[in-house]
Structure 1
């Protein structure tokens, strides 16, 4: 398995290349949906968290931000809402925990769920997928502490949408994470994600039935699935990729490993102490 508001935050200089973390044509935003596709009832605390996530999404990767070949990230990005407001608890409900979800890795009953909203054309998303996610899987997913749930959040136009549908179609044949790895490999996004290229990536990912993949890629079901994820992200106020929720706690950008470790350790401590983080959490 493997998986940037196009963010990426590492303690280093800002990227030299031009950023690109905002949708060129922003789809209409709709209310976030909870499990089963039902509209999520957003309380005041969730609205506050959504506003924070949206703000951090923008500041972590302003329009046109993109990583340079060896550069570091853009600006700041971890976001936090007051847990007492109930925001975390409401946002935590967005974890679907579907045991057979092909776009997720880790136990459905893991104490911590990280939901990732990402785009295959996002350079910072690729950086997170290559540099950070494998470590999180080895350190937390494999021991049963963490589940990672992918959400397609295409914001860079038609090719982003095509790649998102391709990922979903690969998942129908149990090859989502292999497709994810191929699409985020170094240099992959520079080749674009036109339909023929996405089909080539599916072959590279070992998708067994090319005919079925082609049909699924163009299906109404694929479009509906991608739209559901996209609507959920926009409903949260996310404006760039990647954006994350760790047991409901918003994090914007491809942050360094330490930012995710702190959030996950804090969530584990809270889960093990009746919802109250221990003093050692996040250290």
Structure 2
């Protein structure tokens, strides 16, 4: 009897160890999955240009390239509706994040725009941003369009103070926009962005077939 009881006790101990071990494995796996999910959707919005109310409940990002004709079209056709219906309503805080992947002009335009943001602030950035897209040549075969002189002139069109313009140009030539662009590119890579324009709502890339898809994504994000 003593041996039977002892054997039963040992079996019970092994069962408990097994149950505890399985529980630990489940916790570890769940924790890893949550950490992975958080990492995929975690975005550092600090020091990013935006429009909208500071406390808007939903963050929206446009990933764009200043040499992308589709981005120019998005800026001229889709963005006004986004601003009118989603930003001005107080629902969305809208960010522009660079995904400069087409050519050297993409890189130069992004770095210069980032420098405008750093040196002159958010409002000047959006004025330059809009004008740079408007000034983008339609011929995609042209290269080396965004020279320093071209970018300087584009900024002069929206900023009257020549001293401020020169401050931006000098900072740009000294590499002021490089770190900001790399941060943007890392955000894009982490979200799996492969082209422009791409829109993300609260860290989730949205497949858009209509404006209603975007409105639905914002409404869903608001209700989470």
TM-score w.r.t. structure 1 length?
0.58
**Cα deviation digits, residues 76-110 of structure 1 (max 9, x gap):** xxxxxxxxxxx4x65543152x4xx4611112321
**Secondary structure at the residue paired with 1:241?**
coil
User: Relative CO higher for 1 or 2, CA cutoff 8 Å, sep ≥ 6?
Assistant: 1
**Secondary structure at the residue paired with 2:101?**
coil
Output the CA distance in 1 between the equivalents of 2:56 and 2:40. 17
Aligned to 1:258: 212
Aligned to 2:165: 210
Q: CA deviation at 1:122?
A: 0.8
1:156 to 84, 95, 102: 102
Larger helix proportion, structure 1 or 2? Answer: 2
**Secondary structure at the residue paired with 1:185?**
helix
Whether 1:143 and 2:89 are equivalent positions in the alignment is: yes
Output the CA distance in 2 between the equivalents of 1:207 and 1:256. 39
TM-score w.r.t. structure 2 length?
0.72
Q: Equivalent residues in 2 for 1:1-283 (5 A)?
A: 44=33, 87=37, 91-94=40-43, 96=45, 98=46, 101=47, 103-171=49-117, 172-174=119-121, 175-185=124-134, 188=137, 190=139, 192-206=145-159, 208=161, 209-252=164-207, 256-268=210-222, 270=223, 275=224
Output the CA distance in 2 between the equivalents of 1:114 and 1:95. 13
- Structure 2 gap segments, 5+ residues each: 1-31
Q: Which has the larger radius of gyration?
A: 2
RMSD over aligned CA atoms reads 2.5
Output the CA distance in 2 between the equivalents of 1:165 and 1:189. 21
**Cα deviation digits, residues 9-48 of structure 1 (max 9, x gap):** xxxxxxxxxxxxxxxxxxxxxxxxxxxxxxxxxx65797x
